C-alpha cells in the first residue's frame, strides 16, 4: 500500500542519528501494518493513553497515516495530566496551562483490530517530548520502568485485572445466578466472542453481586501488557454493550447503597520459570522473596489507595463487609482482606498468586501496576515479613486496621511515601497529588448519590 508522504515534522529537528533511525524503523513496520489493516477494511486507528484521573483519552488517525504517526507521533498537550473526572482542569507545580506539546507514539506490538467496532483498530501509546526523549510523567513508561527494575532483580511479574461493570437496564437475575446469564446470553456471548477475536484469552465471565453486574477475567500478562489489556477489555465491553442497546457503568459505585465495581489486581512473581508464590517455607508456602514483596504491598496499601482508589466515589465502595478489602490485612482465600492470597489447587503451582481487592475501575492501570511493583520491591529491600493472616471478616478481628476511609486520608499517606515519590518521579507524583486534591474539592459537600451519579459513567 502506498504510504502518504508529508513534509518533515518539526519533531525531527535536533534528533540524534539513532532517534532518526528508530523513527524510520517504526515507519517501515507501521507501513506494513497499515497495508494489512487496509486489506482488512480498517480505516481508522484509535491511539489511547490513560490520564491521572483514570479516564482513557484518545487521538484517532486514518490508517493511511499510521506510518507517519509511528515515526513522528501525534501531538497532545501535557495539560491532560491534570484533567479531572468532569474534564475540568487543575494545575500542579510541574504541569498545567495551555503551553507545550507531547508526541504520542503507538506501540505497534499491541496494534489490535477491534472486533466490536468494524473498520477500527487500536493501539496504546507512549508519550515523548518534542526532543524525542521519554516524557517523565508518562504513566505507561512508568509501568515499564518498574517492570525493568524488577527484572534487574531477576523477578518477572505476571499480572491481570478483573473487570467489573454494571449493565443498565439491569434484569431480575440473582447474584451469581444462571438466570442472569440466560437473560443476557446473547450479550455475554458477544462479549466473549469479541475479546477472543482480538486474541484475548478469557478465563471466566460471570454475574456478580449487584443487579446487572458482571465480571470478566483474562489471562495474565507482563505488567504493561496487563494494563493495556485492562483498557482494551473495557472498551470492548463498552462497544458490545452499545451494540446491544445497553449502557455499561464502570464507575466505583452506581448505587451508593449497593456493592460497587472492583478493579481487583492479581499478580505472581516468577524467577527462572518458577512461581515464587509457591515452593518455599514461608506463609502458605511462599518463598522469602514472594513474602517480602507481598509484605511491601501490604505495608504501603494506605498510600497506594491514592493510586488504586483515586476518587471520592471509591470510598463509597470501600466499605467493610462488602468484599471490597477495607482492612489492611491479608489472608489465604479471604475475600474480605485487602490482600488475598490464592494458593491455587493442588498440583497447580503456577496458579498461586496474590490479589489486591481494594482497588477499583477509576484507577489508571499503568499507575497501578507500576506502583505495586515499586511497593513490593521496597518490601524486598527492607526484608519485610507478613503479619499473621486474618481469617473471617476483619471487622471482627482484634487489632485489624481500617484502611483510609476517604481520599484525603489516603492522599495524606501517599504524600508521606518517599518510595512512591522516588519511583514515580516528582512530575508525575505531584500531578497525582494535585488531581486528587482537586477532585476532593470538586465533590466536597455532595451527597453520596450525587457523587455516584457524577462518576459512574465517566470511566
At 20 the pLDDT is 86
Per-residue cell: 374: 515499586
Q: Parallel, antiparallel, or unpaired for β 102-106 and 74-76? A: antiparallel
With respect to residue 249, please indicate whether it lies within any of the assigned structural domains.
yes
At 391 the pLDDT is 94
At 12 the pLDDT is 52
% of the chain exceeding 90 in pLDDT = 91
With respect to residue 155, please indicate whether it lies within any of the assigned structural domains.
yes
Question: Both 117 and 157 in a single domain?
Answer: no
Question: Both 254 and 228 in a single domain?
Answer: yes
At 1 the pLDDT is 28
Name the pLDDT band for 372 (thresholds 50, 70, 90).
Answer: very high
Measured between alpha carbons, how far is 107 from 454 in angstroms, rounded to an integer? 33
pLDDT at 399 over 90: no
With respect to residue 172, please indicate whether it lies within any of the assigned structural domains.
yes
- Per-residue model confidence as pLDDT tens digits over 54-92: 999 999 999 999 999 999 999 999 999 999 999 999 999
Name the pLDDT band for 11 (thresholds 50, 70, 90).
Answer: very low
Name the pLDDT band for 383 (thresholds 50, 70, 90).
Answer: very high
Question: Both 45 and 86 in a single domain?
Answer: yes
Name the pLDDT band for 16 (thresholds 50, 70, 90).
Answer: confident
At 50 the pLDDT is 98
With respect to residue 14, please indicate whether it lies within any of the assigned structural domains.
yes
- Mean pLDDT of the region 241-266: 97
Q: Which domain holds residue 69?
A: 10-135
Question: Both 306 and 398 in a single domain?
Answer: yes
Determine how many CB atoms are found less than 10 A away from the CB of residue 100: 13
Count Cβ atoms within 10 A of the Cβ of residue 373 and give its class: 0-12 exposed, 13-18 middle, 19 or more buried. buried
Rounded-to-10 torsion of CA 413, 414, 416, 418: 140
At 350 the pLDDT is 87
Q: What is the DSSP string of 258-281?
A: S------EEEEEEETTEETTSSSS
pLDDT at 30 over 90: yes
Q: pTM above 0.85?
A: yes
- Mean pLDDT of the region 380-401: 93
Q: Can you give the length of the chain in residues? A: 459
380, 385, 382, 402: which is closest to 393 by C-alpha? 402
Question: Both 371 and 257 in a single domain?
Answer: yes
Measured between alpha carbons, how far is 249 from 234 in angstroms, rounded to an integer? 10
Question: Both 149 and 126 in a single domain?
Answer: no
The region of weakest confidence among 152-156, 172-176, 447-451 is 172-176
Domain boundary among 135, 156, 172: 135
At 13 the pLDDT is 52
Measured between alpha carbons, how far is 112 from 97 in angstroms, rounded to an integer? 34
With respect to residue 234, please indicate whether it lies within any of the assigned structural domains.
yes
In DSSP terms, 247 is beta-bridged to 168
Dihedral sign, Cα of residue 199, residue 200, residue 203, residue 204: negative
Question: Both 268 and 304 in a single domain?
Answer: yes
At 159 the pLDDT is 98
pLDDT at 5 over 80: no
With respect to residue 4, please indicate whether it lies within any of the assigned structural domains.
no
Q: Give the three-class secondary structure for 367.
A: helix
Question: Both 296 and 357 in a single domain?
Answer: yes
Domain with 122 in it: what CATH number?
3.10.20.70
Domain boundary among 135, 166, 193: 135
With respect to residue 191, please indicate whether it lies within any of the assigned structural domains.
yes
Domain with 268 in it: what CATH number?
3.30.590.10
With respect to residue 232, please indicate whether it lies within any of the assigned structural domains.
yes
Question: Both 117 and 235 in a single domain?
Answer: no
Domain boundary among 84, 113, 135: 135
% of the chain exceeding 70 in pLDDT = 97
Q: What is the CA radius of gyration of the chain?
A: 22
Question: Both 90 and 44 in a single domain?
Answer: yes
pLDDT at 259 over 50: yes
Question: Both 150 and 85 in a single domain?
Answer: no
At 46 the pLDDT is 98
C-alpha atoms less than 13 angstroms from C-alpha of 336 in its C-beta half-sphere: 16
- Per-residue model confidence as pLDDT tens digits over 342-356: 998 888 888 999 999
At 347 the pLDDT is 81
Q: How many domains does the chain have?
A: 2
pLDDT at 241 over 70: yes
Question: Both 364 and 336 in a single domain?
Answer: yes
Q: Grid cell 507481598 — which residue?
A: 294
CA distances from 9 to 5, 12, 124, 130 (A): 11, 6, 22, 10
Amino acid at each position: 500500500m502506498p504510504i502518504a508522504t508529508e513534509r518533515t515534522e518539526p519533531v525531527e529537528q535536533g534528533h540524534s542519528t539513532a532517534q532518526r533511525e528508530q523513527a524510520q524503523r517504526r515507519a517501515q513496520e507501521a507501513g506494513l501494518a497499515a497495508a494489512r489493516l487496509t486489506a482488512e477494511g480498517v480505516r481508522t486507528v484509535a491511539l489511547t493513553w490513560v490520564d491521572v484521573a483514570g479516564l482513557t483519552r484518545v487521538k484517532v488517525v486514518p490508517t493511511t497515516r499510521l506510518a507517519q504517526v509511528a515515526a513522528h507521533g501525534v501531538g497532545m498537550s501535557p495539560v491532560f495530566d491534570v484533567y479531572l473526572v468532569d474534564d475540568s482542569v487543575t494545575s500542579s507545580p510541574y504541569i498545567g496551562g495551555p503551553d507545550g506539546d507531547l508526541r504520542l507514539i503507538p506501540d505497534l506490538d499491541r496494534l489490535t483490530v477491534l472486533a466490536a467496532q468494524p473498520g477500527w483498530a487500536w493501539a496504546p501509546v507512549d508519550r515523548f517530548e518534542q526532543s524525542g526523549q521519554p516524557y517523565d510523567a508518562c504513566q505507561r513508561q512508568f509501568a515499564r520502568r518498574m517492570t525493568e527494575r524488577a527484572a534487574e532483580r531477576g523477578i518477572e511479574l505476571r499480572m491481570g485485572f478483573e473487570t467489573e461493570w454494571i449493565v443498565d437496564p439491569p434484569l431480575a437475575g440473582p447474584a451469581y445466578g444462571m438466570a442472569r446469564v440466560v437473560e443476557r446470553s446473547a450479550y455475554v456471548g458477544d462479549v466473549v466472542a469479541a475479546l477472543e477475536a482480538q486474541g484475548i484469552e478469557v478465563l471466566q465471565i460471570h454475574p456478580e453481586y449487584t443487579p446487572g453486574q458482571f465480571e470478566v477475567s483474562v489471562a495474565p500478562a507482563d505488567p504493561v501488557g496487563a494494563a493495556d489489556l485492562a483498557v482494551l477489555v473495557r472498551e470492548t465491553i463498552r462497544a458490545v454493550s452499545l451494540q446491544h442497546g445497553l449502557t455499561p457503568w464502570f464507575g466505583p459505585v452506581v448505587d451508593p447503597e449497593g456493592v460497587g465495581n472492583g478493579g481487583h489486581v492479581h499478580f505472581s512473581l516468577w524467577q527462572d520459570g518458577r512461581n515464587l508464590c509457591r515452593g518455599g517455607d514461608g506463609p502458605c508456602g511462599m518463598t522469602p522473596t514472594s513474602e517480602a514483596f507481598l509484605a511491601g504491598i501490604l505495608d504501603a496499601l494506605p498510600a497506594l489507595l491514592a493510586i488504586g482508589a483515586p476518587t471520592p466515589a471509591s470510598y463509597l465502595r470501600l466499605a467493610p463487609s462488602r468484599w471490597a478489602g477495607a482492612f489492611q490485612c491479608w489472608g489465604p482465600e479471604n475475600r474480605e482482606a485487602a490482600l488475598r492470597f490464592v494458593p491455587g489447587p493442588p498440583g497447580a503451582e503456577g496458579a498461586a498468586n496474590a490479589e489486591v481487592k481494594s482497588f477499583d475501575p477509576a484507577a489508571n492501570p499503568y499507575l497501578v501496576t507500576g506502583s505495586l511493583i515499586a511497593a513490593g520491591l521496597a518490601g524486598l529491600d527492607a526484608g519485610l515479613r507478613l503479619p499473621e493472616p486474618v481469617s473471617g471478616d476483619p471487622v471482627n478481628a482484634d487489632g485489624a486496621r481500617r484502611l483510609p476511609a476517604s481520599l484525603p486520608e489516603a492522599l495524606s499517606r501517599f504524600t508521606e511515601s518517599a518510595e512512591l515519590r522516588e519511583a514515580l518521579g516528582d512530575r508525575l507524583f505531584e500531578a497525582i497529588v494535585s488531581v486528587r486534591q482537586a477532585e476532593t474539592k470538586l465533590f466536597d459537600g455532595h451527597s453520596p448519590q450525587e457523587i455516584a451519579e457524577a462518576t459512574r459513567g465517566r470511566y
